[in-house]
């Protein structure tokens, strides 16, 4: 997806030395740059793509949109920004979110601080100089006091290692690296591999264009209708009048969104009729609301089963062919312990005559052939294949960079048995390296913009503290890191989440260590802990002098 180093010439725009290198120009990298500039620190952003946007730059597949409502899925650091930008839909589509990020880049004049079309290949800590040397695929290097990874949790798109992919004579695409000019599937025979969020969003669109669409499903997923529509003008008015007040409530919440429909009891305390009514109410409301119908859905399997059965009953209601409906009914994991999918007409799409579903759970895809996909002894012929096969999540983008800390220790070696961090912000042995929404932080289990802002604010305050106290380095201690990793695991094991073979646990990448990566304790609890650590003069970190 990026040209090899040998083909790229240096752009000679990178400064030789800065206070901070920021890798990535998505929501995280842009806000980080803004904060550092406001502190009069010199910083440069290095970005592989040729524009800003991160996720919203790369994921241009048809149907891509947010699943956190637009009014919440935006920056909250500037009330004027929230007032000046108007979202059109309850769940904004990718082009609109990308326009928003571009608007932000222009409004705060950030573009001249970003070098595009450049991939960071290595980052090495020099213990004597106490500086990072960051190298790019153009052969350039930058020396920086701080190295801040804003590389994204879902930015390392992954095509499974299918035998024979090179021999396929048709076109193929990955949802996470979609061509900018779009793809016209009109009249084509298309195969989609995968039924996660990206597939669930794109399948209805592809089905409307293609002559025939075949979906290969390994694991059936829970999906809830978005009931998308125009932004509610009343709510828009209320929120944009004082956005920071709403954002403060989101920051104190479990998931990083302003709590509504707060659950007050166990599913088992409700009668079957009450449960039916309460699930139905949230199904009609749409989106993630159903996940918080009761307060024990994430921790009690019996309660969880009631939600799972409700969704299965909906699938049977929508999908006309009973056999197809049964294949689409998720049974392999508890409700919402993989990322819940939010859709527009997903299950309805299987009622179209030009759509068929192939269950590859028992009989996996054997190979990609010259003409299509082989499952068992059956070959399906296609003009195009779409890999909606997800990402090497949370650690993939970091592992792609040769990051070396003290004594030349490679991050990949340190994380051989799974990622270890203190608060998801720092790694022992890697001074002055920060990971925005790193493993061990709420990140992907939250409204990510809220988590990104909380991390960027914390890192900025930390760098301000170091400067004020004339300190050169900050590094997580091994003890603090060990304790945090234990805590992250304990909290995860208290829930039903580890029962799912999800990307949260690395299960989608063969050979990846099985470790529950995000912190499930909640955005509010986590933010309070980070604040306490800072207030206690960065407890759990070693601070180094000049
Ligand atoms: P990213 O947006 O991933 O940006 C990281 C950037 O770093 C990329 O541009 C990448 O090119 C660059 N980069 C990585 N490695 C290198 C390198 N070595 N050198 C140079 N550049 C590099 N979250 C939500 O909370 N709500 C949603 O509704 C939602 N919808 C999503 C929909 C899709 C299709 C996907 C894939 C994710 C979604 N997410 C959602 C998660 C989403 O990733 C975050 O919300 C957010 O956009 C992440 O921003 P970021 O800046 O941290 O990372
Ligand atoms: O990726 P995924 P995604 N043979 O990993 C299947 C965010 N997001 O891009 O489940 C056959 O979820 C795999 O099967 P299985 C969101 O956080 C948000 O869809 O491993 N199938 C699965 O069905 C989301 O969770 C939105 O058995 C194979 C699919 O490919 C995250 O990004 C939209 C296979 C991958 O699903 C990732 O979503 C899009 C194989 N060898 C993304 N290998 C919103 O709605 C993999 N699969 C906002």
Q: Whose CA is nearest to atom 11 of ligand 2?
A: 218
Q: Whose CA is nearest to atom 34 of ligand 2?
A: 389
Tens digit of pLDDT per residue, the chain (546 long)?
434 444 577 676 799 999 999 999 999 999 999 999 999 999 999 999 999 999 999 999 999 999 999 999 999 999 999 999 999 999 999 999 999 999 999 999 999 999 999 999 999 999 999 999 999 999 999 999 999 999 999 999 999 999 999 999 999 999 999 999 999 999 999 999 999 999 999 999 999 999 999 999 999 999 999 999 999 999 999 998 899 999 999 999 999 999 888 899 999 999 999 999 999 999 999 999 999 999 999 999 999 999 999 999 999 999 999 999 999 999 999 999 999 999 999 999 999 999 999 999 999 999 999 999 999 999 999 999 999 999 999 999 999 999 999 999 999 999 999 999 999 999 999 999 999 999 999 999 999 999 999 999 999 999 999 999 999 999 999 999 999 999 999 999 999 999 999 999 999 999 999 999 999 999 999 999 999 999 999 999 999 975
Residue 260: per-residue pLDDT? 85
End-to-end CA distance of the chain: 42
Select from 35, 52, 23, 38 the least CA-distant residue to 150.
23
Q: Whose CA is nearest to atom 6 of ligand 2?
A: 194
- CA–CA gap between residue 283 and residue 277 (Å, rounded): 10
Residue 11: per-residue pLDDT? 72
395 lines ligand 2 (CB under 6 A): no
What distance in angstroms lies between residue 149's CA and the mean position of ligand 1's atoms?
12
Residues with CB under 6 A from ligand 1: 23-29, 46-49, 54-55, 57, 59, 64, 66-68, 73, 119-120, 150-155, 198, 397, 400-401, 436-437, 447-448, 452
Select from 62, 49, 59 the least CA-distant residue to 1.
49
Other beta carbons within 10 angstroms of residue 226's beta carbon come to 23
DSSP element (H, E) containing 421: none
Residue 495: per-residue pLDDT? 98
| DSSP tag of 17 | E
Residue 6: per-residue pLDDT? 47
Domains, the chain, ordered by start? 17-156+393-538 (3.50.50.60), 159-220+348-390 (3.50.50.60)
Residue 386: per-residue pLDDT? 98
Half-sphere exposure of 507 (CA within 13 A, CB side): 14
- Ligand 1 atom nearest the C-alpha of 436 is 52
- CA–CA gap between residue 432 and residue 424 (Å, rounded): 14
- CA–CA gap between residue 56 and residue 49 (Å, rounded): 11
Give all strands (DSSP E) within 270-428, no chain letters: 341-343, 355-359, 365-368, 372-375, 378-381, 384-387, 402-404
Q: Whose CA is nearest to atom 7 of ligand 2?
A: 197
Residue 546: per-residue pLDDT? 58
pLDDT digits (tens, 9 = 90+) for 149-198: 999 999 999 999 999 999 999 999 999 999 999 999 999 999 999 999 99
What distance in angstroms lies between residue 197's CA and the mean position of ligand 2's atoms?
6
């Amino acid at each position: 997806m990026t040209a090899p180093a040998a083909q790229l010439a240096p752009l000679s725009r990178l400064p030789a030395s800065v206070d901070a290198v920021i890798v990535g120009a998505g929501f995280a990298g842009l806000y980080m740059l803004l904060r550092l500039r406001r502190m009069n620190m010199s910083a440069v952003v290095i970005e592989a793509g040729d524009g800003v946007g991160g996720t919203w730059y790369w994921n241009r597949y048809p149907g891509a949109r947010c699943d956190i409502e637009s009014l919440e899925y935006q920056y909250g650091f500037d009330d004027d920004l929230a007032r000046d930008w108007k979202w059109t839909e309850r769940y904004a589509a990718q082009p609109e979110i990308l326009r928003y990020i571009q608007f932000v880049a222009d409004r705060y004049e950030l573009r001249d601080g970003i070098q595009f079309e450049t991939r960071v290949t290595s980052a090495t800590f020099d213990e004597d100089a106490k500086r990072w040397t960051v190298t790019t695929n153009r052969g350039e290097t930058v020396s920086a006091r701080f190295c801040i990874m804003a590389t994204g949790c879902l930015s390392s798109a992954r095509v499974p290692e299918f035998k024979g992919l090179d021999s396929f004579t048709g076109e193929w695409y990955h949802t996470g690296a979609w061509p900018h000019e779009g793809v016209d599937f009109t009249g084509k025979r298309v195969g989609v591999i995968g039924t996660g969020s990206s597939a669930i969003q794109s399948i209805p669109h592809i089905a409307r264009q293609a002559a025939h669409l075949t979906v290969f499903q390994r694991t059936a997923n829970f999906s809830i209708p978005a009931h998308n529509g125009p932004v509610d003008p009343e709510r828009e008015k209320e929120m944009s009048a004082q956005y920071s007040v709403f954002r403060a409530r989101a920051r104190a919440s479990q998931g990083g969104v302003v709590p509504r429909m707060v659950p007050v009891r166990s599913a088992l305390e409700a009668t079957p009729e009450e449960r039916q009514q309460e699930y139905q109410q949230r199904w009609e409301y749409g989106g993630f609301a159903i996940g918080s119908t009761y307060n024990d859905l994430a921790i009690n399997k019996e309660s969880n089963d009631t939600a799972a059965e409700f969704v299965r009953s909906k699938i049977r209601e929508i999908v006309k062919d009973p056999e197809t409906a049964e294949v689409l009914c998720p049974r392999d994991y508890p409700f919402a312990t993989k990322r819940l999918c939010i859709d527009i007409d997903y299950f309805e799409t299987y009622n179209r005559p030009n759509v068929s579903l192939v269950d590859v759970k028992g009989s996996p895809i054997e190979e990609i052939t010259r003409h299509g996909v082989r499952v068992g002894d059956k070959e399906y012929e296609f003009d195009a294949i779409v890999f909606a096969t997800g990402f090497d999540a949370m650690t993939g983008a970091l592992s792609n960079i040769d990051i070396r800390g003290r004594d030349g220790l490679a991050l990949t070696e340190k994380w051989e048995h799974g990622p270890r961090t203190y608060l998801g912000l720092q790694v022992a042995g890697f001074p002055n390296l920060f990971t925005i929404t790193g493993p061990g932080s709420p990140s992907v289990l939250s409204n990510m913009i809220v988590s990104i802002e909380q991390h960027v604010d914390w890192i900025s305050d930390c760098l301000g503290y170091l400067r004020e106290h004339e300190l050169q380095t900050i590094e997580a201690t091994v003890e603090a890191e060990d304790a945090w990793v234990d805590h992250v695991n304990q909290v995860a094991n208290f829930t039903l989440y580890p029962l799912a073979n999800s990307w949260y646990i690395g299960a989608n990448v063969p050979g990846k260590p099985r470790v529950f990566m995000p912190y499930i304790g909640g955005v509010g609890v986590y933010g309070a802990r980070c604040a306490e650590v800072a207030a206690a003069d960065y407890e759990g970190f070693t601070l180094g002098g000049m």
